[in-house]
Amino acid sequence: MVLVLLGLAAWMHTGGTKQDALLLNDIVQTAKEHPDDRAMLAEFHAEFLYFGTEDELVYASDAAADDITTLSEAIRQGYTCLAVHDGNAFLGTVALPAPDTALLSAAQRRLLLTAAVVCGCIWLIAAALGIFFYLRMVRPFRGLRRFAEEIAQGRLEEPLPMDRHHLFGAFSESFDIMREALLESRKREEALRQREKELIASLSHDIRTPVTGIKLICELLCVKTEDAYVRSKIGQIGQKAEQINRLAGDLLITSLDELGELTVCCQDTESGVLHQLLLEQDTKGLCREMPVPDCLLSVDRSRLSQVLANIISNSYKYAGTPIDVSYAFDGQFLAMSLTDHGGGIPEEELAFITQKYYRGRQNSDGKEGSGLGLYISRALTEKMQGIFTCSNAPDGLTVTLRLPLSH
């Protein structure tokens, strides 16, 4: 661009010099032919001065400077002067501004105008290129980046818009093919998981039928035989069958919960049911219960019985101490707290003991269990719109059930 502007300036300089020389000759010739006719000189629309024989100012064009009145002043300011002769007679002097000075001023104006036009064109071209690259490269690339983020976060349902006119058109199509493949893979995986859960639920249910038969046979054999050794072995078989039955029940409840088919039927129930359920589930008679406040609860009796059974059996398995049972109203809930005296569990494990298949690290060694008891208790309590929490007591573990009051 600089070279172009310099070339334009040189062209204007050369052209301007030639034009000034021709203009000066024309004015001199007119002054020679019509020395006393000022109207003829006024026809030249240019900046010039005409001095007489005594160097006095005779005529000044409209564009001429006002501060020059003598020929000597014009010479000092660099004017180009040319004498006017008529044969041997001297008629006067024509003075024009220095061609370089006038040319420079005009050239500067033209150069600035040309530079403005060129810069404007360059700016428009740059803006057009910027818009082109944004539409064809930047925006499609950002779209691909957002799409990749959606894929990374597992949101595969929204397709990627197709546009073959930008540079990433082919990549967009490939990305969307990948999305569809991942979505199909996820659907297959979810279907397999669903069938797996249904299979576990079905097997858990089917296992309980023969196990119940084994338990009944063990009870019958214990009645029929009087041999103490045989009866002890039959009792062990019955205990193992009961463990299998409990484990199958836990797996069934867990599978139903994962399938979204674990249902509860809450009814208005008198709070005295809590005392009855404790008596049913306290197989060792170690629960020390405070009086139950009179109120109506919105609970499912059978599910609440499962919850208490899991809590009490867990306490007997891991703590083996008496269980203190207390009650207190807590807003719209009746809080039932069961506290053992087995030393509690480490604080860092409290947040995990109600998770599926989790068993404590310190007190679970050598003890049978699946890690589902407290998980099932929490799930059933929450299904009844209650709150299930665990916390350490001074010398044991406290499990608190907040059971909703009837409205």
**Distance between first and last Cα of the chain:** 86
Q: Do 204 and 259 form a contact (C-beta atoms < 8 A)?
A: no
Phi-psi sector, 224: left (phi>0), alpha (psi -120 to 50), beta: alpha
- Tell how strand 323-330 and strand 287-289 pair up: parallel
Q: Is 404 helix (H, G, I), strand (E, B) or coil?
A: strand
DSSP string, 160-218: PPP-TTSTTHHHHHHHHHHHHHHHHHHHHHHHHHHHHHHHHHHHHHHHHHHHHHHHHHH
Alpha carbons 229 and 231: distance in angstroms, whole number: 5
Alpha carbons 306 and 299: distance in angstroms, whole number: 12
Exposure on the CB side of residue 121, measured as CA atoms within 13 A: 6
Q: Do 140 and 168 form a contact (C-beta atoms < 8 A)?
A: yes
The yes or no reply on domain 267-404 and CATH 1.10.10.920 is: no
Alpha carbons 343 and 92: distance in angstroms, whole number: 129
What is the model's pTM? 0.48
Buried b (16+ CB within 10 A) or exposed e, 287-299: bebeebeeeebbb
Q: What is the pLDDT of residue 1?
A: 47
The yes or no reply on domain 170-259 and CATH 1.10.287.130 is: yes
Name, in order, each residue with C-beta under 8 angstroms of 309's C-beta and a sequence gap of 6 or more.
281
SS3 content of the chain, % helix, strand, coil (to 5): 55, 15, 30
Q: Is 272 helix (H, G, I), strand (E, B) or coil?
A: coil
Name, in order, each residue with C-beta under 8 angstroms of 25's C-beta and a sequence gap of 6 or more.
none
Return the beta strands (E) in 39-157 as ranges: 49-51, 57-60, 80-86, 89-96
Alpha carbons 170 and 150: distance in angstroms, whole number: 19
In 225-329, alpha helices (H):
228-259, 273-281, 301-318
Exposure on the CB side of residue 384, measured as CA atoms within 13 A: 32
**pLDDT tens across the length of the chain (407 residues):** 444 444 444 444 444 445 566 777 777 777 777 777 777 777 777 777 888 878 788 878 776 667 787 888 888 877 878 788 877 788 788 887 765 555 566 677 888 888 899 999 999 999 998 888 777 777 777 777 777 777 777 777 777 666 665 556 666 667 777 778 888 888 888 877 777 766 666 666 667 668 778 878 888 888 888 888 888 888 888 878 877 777 777 666 766 666 666 778 899 999 999 999 999 888 888 999 999 999 999 999 988 988 998 899 888 888 889 999 999 999 999 999 999 998 888 888 888 888 877 776 655 555 666 677 788 888 889 989 999 999 999 889 999 999 999 98
Q: What is the pLDDT of residue 8?
A: 47
Q: What is the pLDDT of residue 250?
A: 67
Domain boundaries, the chain: 1-155, 170-259, 267-404
Buried b (16+ CB within 10 A) or exposed e, 330-360: eeebbbbbbbbbbebbeeebeeebbeeebbb
Amino acid at 203: L
Alpha carbons 264 and 381: distance in angstroms, whole number: 10
Partners of 287 in the beta sheet? Answer: 323
Question: CA-based diameter of the chain, in Å?
Answer: 170
The kind and range of the H/E element at 287 are strand 287-289
Q: Do 320 and 396 form a contact (C-beta atoms < 8 A)?
A: no
